[in-house]
């Protein structure tokens, strides 16, 4: 089935817009990590390469992997990343419950 030429242009424009809208969240999801020095690193924190002492960030501007101490990060960003990764300290939480004596 052939489409007429007057429908091809709007169909092409709609398909290009659909692809652009589908890829927009991937481009907009770039993370920015703020350091205590005021520097902002635009990149993606990599959980698999990070340890308790250091965080590894894939720097989008240079293409390099940056290894930064957790203490060098802004406190809000450090807490946000550790919370997203499930690395928050839950040892200080008190759980109320019944006491069982056997």
Summary mean pLDDT of the chain: 80
Is 96 part of a structural domain of the chain?
Answer: no
Mean local confidence (pLDDT), 25-34: 65
The number of domains in the chain is 1
Whole-prediction pTM: 0.58
Rounded distance, CA 30 to CA 43, Å?
A: 6
Residues 6+ apart with CB under 8 A from 36: 72, 73, 74
Residues 6+ apart with CB under 8 A from 72: 35, 36, 37
CATH number for the domain spanning 69: value is 2.30.30.700
Is 17 part of a structural domain of the chain?
Answer: no
Percent of the chain with pLDDT strictly greater than 90: 53
């Amino acid at each position: 089935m052939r489409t007429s030429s007057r429908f091809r242009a709007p169909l092409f424009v709609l398909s290009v817009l659909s692809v652009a809208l589908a890829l927009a969240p991937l481009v907009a999801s770039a993370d920015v990590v703020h350091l205590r020095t005021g520097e902002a690193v635009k990149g993606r924190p990599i959980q698999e390469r990070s340890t308790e002492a250091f965080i590894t960030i894939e720097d989008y501007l240079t293409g390099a992997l940056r290894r930064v101490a957790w203490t060098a990060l802004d406190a809000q960003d450090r807490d946000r990343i550790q919370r997203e990764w499930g690395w928050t300290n839950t040892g200080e939480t008190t759980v109320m419950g019944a006491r069982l004596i056997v």
